[in-house]
Every structure is written in C-alpha cells, then in structure tokens.
C-alpha cells in the first residue's frame, strides 16, 4: 500500500514536470510539479472515465499529463 502511494507520487511528479515542459511554464518548484501532476491525474482520470478510457499505466500517465496541461491552461486564463 505504501509502495503504491510512492509510485503514484513519483508518476504525479513526472506528469507535472512533463506538463510544465509542454505548456512552457516557468515554474521550477518540484512540490508544485507533484501537486500539479496529482491534480492532473484526478482531472484526467475523471475525464477518462467519462469517455470510457483509462485502463493501464500508459493511459493513466497520458491522462495525468493531459489533465495537468488543462489545469495550467485554465489557471492562465483565470489569473489573467
């Protein structure tokens, strides 16, 4: 159980870093990237369940990156 949590945190961090690079965000905070990746995973997982996608590691990582990119985009639109 603890191992699964650690793996999910690492995947969340990597997804947040990937989303930062894709969206050309200037954040370099590791904690922010982890939070962004975890939130992106929740958003991406929710959207994936709505459309019937989401089984497997690769799909989960892609949905997490997509969700994190969506959060960055929404934050940019709302904060400007």
**pLDDT tens per residue, range 11-60:** 888 888 888 889 887 766 778 877 888 888 888 888 888 888 867 788 88
User: 6-10 long-range contacts, Cβ below 8 Å, gap at least 24?
Assistant: 8/38, 8/41, 9/34, 9/38
Residues 6+ apart with CB under 8 A from 59: 48, 53
pLDDT at 2: 85
pLDDT at 27: 66
Banded pLDDT at 10 (limits 50, 70, 90): confident
pLDDT at 28: 66
């Amino acid at each position: 159980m603890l191992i699964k949590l650690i793996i999910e945190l690492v995947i969340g961090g990597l997804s947040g870093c990937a989303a930062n690079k894709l969206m050309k965000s200037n954040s370099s905070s590791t904690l922010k990237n982890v939070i962004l990746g975890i939130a992106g995973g929740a958003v991406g997982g929710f959207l994936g369940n709505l459309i019937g996608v989401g089984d497997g590691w690769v799909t989960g990582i892609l949905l997490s990156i997509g969700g994190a990119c969506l959060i960055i985009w929404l934050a940019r639109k709302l904060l400007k």
